[in-house]
Structure formats: structure tokens, C-alpha cells
Amino acid sequence: MRIACRISPGRKRLSKMAVTSDIVTEVRLRVQRARSVAVLTGAGVSAESGVPTFRGANGLWRSYRAEQLATPQAFARDPVLVWRWYDWRRQRIAACCPNPAHAALAALERTVPDFLLITQNVDGLHRQAGSTALVELHGNLWRVRCTAEETVQDLPAVLIDTIPPCCACGALQRPDVVWFGEPLSEAAVTRASQAAERCEVMLVVGTSLLVHPAAALPALAKRRGAYLVEVNVEPTPVTAYADAAFQQPAGIVLPRLMHSC
């Protein structure tokens, strides 16, 4: 199997095949020997499960872009429209299963003493695959939050009785996700930043690194001396300074990188 990959500029350029087996072996050894590993994932890790990414060709819904609907202003203006988008996504995701990339990361967690999976995804597929050392930076669309009392509850039913759902107190319930312009949970950001600061290896999987503050985590890890591995089907701002960059689908590369971990 050919994995298109590049290696940090300081390394001698070997033949494509040698680099492929050489760099895969190096990444495997780094991960096996690491006491502390952090992983940052984005929508690309769920792409092979059939979940639309945000900025890919199918990142549209009724010609809206996510940034137009995933905001408090859009919800205040038209809660029914925003809920119809989330309902559409929940129904799409309900038909999707975790893919080998999710499974590889859930298995990796069991072999690393200090492991944290930091995801920007709200689809719940990492949890479904068995990941438990997990920070969902942007929330989870299978939970809802009361707009008056801030109480959070699971809403696993694929078909929602009434849209928009209401709390027992009578107030609207919103998806328990972080919208653009809203602050992330301080506890989640602290936990993610501390993991980035102390990890020996960071895997950056399936994210365009356009959304902050998550996008700043790989540079933080690199500054602290982490060995940075990117898995993405296209280049991103991290590719230039990653120690290893694999430009193939996560569902193919991650199981190979985790083999015999």
C-alpha cells in the first residue's frame, strides 16, 4: 500500500517506499514508547463513516454553511430552522457507525499510560467506538441544554417528537454544542491544553485546523517538543511542521500506524 507522506525537512529524503515503511516504523515506535499521547480529531475522522465534513464538498445543508447556522444569533432568529439542521444531522449520524480510525484510537487509549483524545466533533462516534479518555471540545449533538436553566440531558431519540424540543420548565432546549462566537468550556480547554503541553506524541487527524482555539493545540504541542503526526487527505497549516504527514484516509492509515501497539 502506498502512503503519500512527507517527512520533516531536516530528514534525508529516501525513496518513496523506503520513506513509507521507514516513517511508519518510526511513528509506531514513537507511539509504542510514549508515556503520554494526545490526539486531536476533526470531522475528517468521521468522513469514512459517512458523516459530512464541515468544509468538504458535501458540507452544505439547504445551501446553508455551518457557520451560518451554528451561531446563537441564528438560533435566536429561527430556532426551528436551526433545529431542522440538527435533526437532519442527527438522523444522518444515527445511520453511521464508527470506522476503523475511531476503533484504532479507542484501542490506542488502552495501551498508553497517559492518553487523551481531544475531538472537535459533536457526532458521538468516538464514544460509540469505546473511547473514554475523551474531551468533546465542541459538545455533543446527542445532548440538549435548557436555554433557561442550563440543565443538560441526553436526547438519544433519533426522531424528536416536537421541534424545537422544550424543557419541563417550558423553555426551549438547544443542542448541547458550542456555537461560533460562544466560549468553550474552560475545563475542557484546560484539560486539552495540558495534554498538548505534556504529550510526547500528538496525532492530528482529519481537521482543517481553521477553528480556534482547537487549531492552536498542535503548535502548542510542537513548541513543547512533541513529535507531531498528521493524518489528512489534504495539506493543512500543520503539514509544513509535522514530523510525519500521511496524506491518506484516516481509516486506512491509523490502523496501520497502531498495528502491534
The reply to whether 212 sits near ligand BV8 by the rule CB under 6 A is yes
Residue selected from 20, 31, 48, 143 as contacting ligand BV8 according to rule CB under 6 A: 48
What span, in angstroms and rounded, lies between the C-alpha atoms of 213 and 138?
A: 10
For residues 44 and 53, the answer to whether their CB atoms sit within 8 Å is yes
Q: Which is nearer to ligand BV8, 94 or 114 (CB)?
A: 94
The rounded distance, in Å, linking the Cα atoms of 167 and 155 is: 11
Q: Catalytic annotation on 138? A: yes
H/E run at residue 231 = strand 227-231
* 165 lines the binding site for ligand BV8 (CB under 6 A): no
Residue 49 sits in the site that holds ligand BV8 (CB under 6 A): no
Residue 161 in the binding site for ligand BV8 (CB under 6 A):
no
CB of 102 to ligand BV8, least distance (A): 12
- Residue position matching grid coordinates 432546549: 173
C-alpha span between 46 and 53 (Å, rounded): 8
Write each residue from 181 to 210 as x if it is in contact with ligand BV8 (CB under 6 A), else as -, in one continuous string: xxx----------------------xxx-x
Report the alpha-carbon angle 33-36-41, nearest 5.
110
C-alpha to C-alpha distances, 92 to 102, 138, 230, nearest whole angstrom: 18, 19, 27
In the complex, minimum distance from the CB of residue 260 to ligand BV8, in angstroms, rounded to a whole number: 22
Catalytic residue among 102, 126, 138, 212: 138
Catalytic residue set? 138
Q: Which residues bind ligand BV8 (CB under 6 A)?
A: 42-44, 47-48, 53-56, 59, 67, 70, 120-122, 138, 177-183, 206-208, 210-213, 231-234, 236, 249-250
